[in-house]
Amino acid sequence: MNIAVLCHASAGGSGVVAAELGLEVARAGHEVRFIAAQLPFRLSELPLDCRNGIYFHQVGAYAYPLFEQPLALLNEANTLVDVILEHGIDLAHAHYAIPYASSAILAREITGRTRVITTLHGTDVTLVGLDPAFRHSTRHAIERSDAVTAVSHFLAEQTRDLFGTDKPIEVIHNMVDVERFRRNPDPAYRARFAQPDERILVHISNFRAVKRTQDVVEVFARVASELPARLLMIGDGPERPRAVELAQKRGVIGRTQFLGSFPGVESVLGVSDLFLLPSSKESFGLVALEAMSCEVPVVASNIGGIPEVVIDGQTGCLLPLGDVDAMAHAALELLRDEARHRRMSAAARQRAVEVFHPRRILPRYLEAYRRLLEA
């Protein structure tokens, strides 16, 4: 198969999933062509000799004096049309409804070729799609796609409810590279962040309001008041200044590191003891899965698709949204009980390997591709 992938190039979850899936599809012997404004984040981390079967087509920021706003959808569609005509694309996989599914549908209409499969990741439905300016376009993108998948049962049901669509939506969970995301046994690397007697708590996000990074700081402040600990905050975004200010106010700024965005987060996850995810919206929770693969239990909000990833009491603790006292209590109980922590860490890794390994998820996508091409 010759597949075009349209996705965000940033470090967000949908771009990461698109890149990881594209790599696995290429390893299975197919040709994968990424179409994006820049090389997707996860692909940029790989050496060239690990990109066999992977091609990249950059979408230009074309402008014309008559148009006052950038034409992202048209630019993406025009680039895809060129790739379809030149390389004979069998199938376009759009990761996100707007603009990627809409661009792929337009390119299909222009060329009269290729099929379009759209994967819904969450905010394309729950945030962008609900904006009155995009609601009709999002519904059109979903219903005019040849096939639609969602990363969780929660998201599939929410899409049906919010848009009143009866479009079939197949649930295919995200995967995790269990060889890349695994425990880091190097004590010297751990020593960069904490003393031997200190526990390491970690949070990774784009620091948007839905990630509730201030709750992360509140939970850590309560934990740090009772046992030696460090907090590593990875990522960047609009809520970062407020999180820094709160860490100063709570007196834990000296034990909190804001590390910014960087590749290779698995090296930090691999030396951590607990992952905090108090989000108000999560359609899946990819970072929680990556933490679990690194043998790191998760303390998270009991919302959205997170319960499809984290099993409460087995691979982590799920608490009511906004209840920082309960989250801190659960974190302290787990960190103080070394035997329970070891059991939960092992169970987290086992679930990641047994349920979310690429060898379980990839065949689901390949079968969806084949069904679409044979229809």
Is 181 within the bounds of a domain?
no
> Among the listed ranges 69-73, 103-107, 176-180, 182-186, which one has the minimum average pLDDT value?
69-73
Is 180 within the bounds of a domain?
no
Residue 156, phi-psi category: left (phi > 0), alpha (psi -120 to 50), beta (remainder): alpha
Is 182 within the bounds of a domain?
no
Is 202 within the bounds of a domain?
yes
pLDDT at 229 over 90: yes
52-111 pLDDT per residue, tens: 889 999 998 776 676 666 678 888 999 999 999 999 999 999 999 888 999 999 999 999
Same domain, 88 and 199: no
Is 255 within the bounds of a domain?
yes
Is 38 within the bounds of a domain?
yes
Same domain, 107 and 203: no
Separation of alpha carbons 128 and 294, rounded Å:
32
Q: For position 261, what pLDDT does the model report?
A: 85
* Strand positions, DSSP E, the chain: 2-6, 31-36, 54-58, 91-95, 115-120, 147-150, 169-171, 199-204, 229-234, 256-260, 274-277, 298-301, 316-319
144 half-sphere exposure, CB direction, 13 A CA radius: 18
What is the strand order of the sheet 316-319 is part of? 256-260, 229-234, 199-204, 274-277, 298-301, 316-319
292-303 pLDDT per residue, tens: 999 999 999 999
10-59 pLDDT per residue, tens: 766 788 899 899 999 999 999 999 999 888 877 776 656 567 889 999 99
Q: For position 134, what pLDDT does the model report?
A: 81
Q: What CATH number has the domain bearing residue 258? A: 3.40.50.2000
List the structure tokens of 108: 């299909």
Same domain, 196 and 66: no
Query: Long-range pairs for 262-267 at CB < 8 Å and ≥24 separation?
Result: 262/234, 263/41, 263/44, 263/45, 264/45, 265/204, 265/234, 265/290, 266/180, 266/181, 266/182, 266/184, 266/290, 266/294, 267/184, 267/189
Same domain, 112 and 254: no
Q: For position 15, what pLDDT does the model report?
A: 84
Same domain, 17 and 130: yes
List the structure tokens of 146: 């040849």
> Is 160:130 a contact under the CB 8 Å cutoff?
no
Same domain, 206 and 151: no
Of the ranges 47-51, 116-120, 124-128, the best mean pLDDT one: 116-120
Separation of alpha carbons 317 and 208, rounded Å:
23
Is 224 within the bounds of a domain?
yes
Same domain, 6 and 125: yes
Same domain, 216 and 281: yes
Report the predicted TM-score, pTM, of the whole model to 2 decimal places.
0.92
Which among 101, 157, 132, 117 has a CA at the least distance from the CA of 3? 117
Q: For position 287, what pLDDT does the model report?
A: 96
Is 99 within the bounds of a domain?
yes
Structurally, the chain folds into a number of domains equal to 2
Same domain, 192 and 80: no
Q: What is the extent of the structural domain holding 205?
A: 187-355
Same domain, 196 and 138: no
List the structure tokens of 15: 């771009």
Same domain, 199 and 303: yes
Q: Chain-wide mean pLDDT for the chain?
A: 92
Q: For position 124, what pLDDT does the model report?
A: 75
Separation of alpha carbons 375 and 373, rounded Å:
6
Separation of alpha carbons 290 and 284, rounded Å:
12
Same domain, 87 and 130: yes
Separation of alpha carbons 146 and 372, rounded Å:
7
pLDDT at 189 over 90: yes
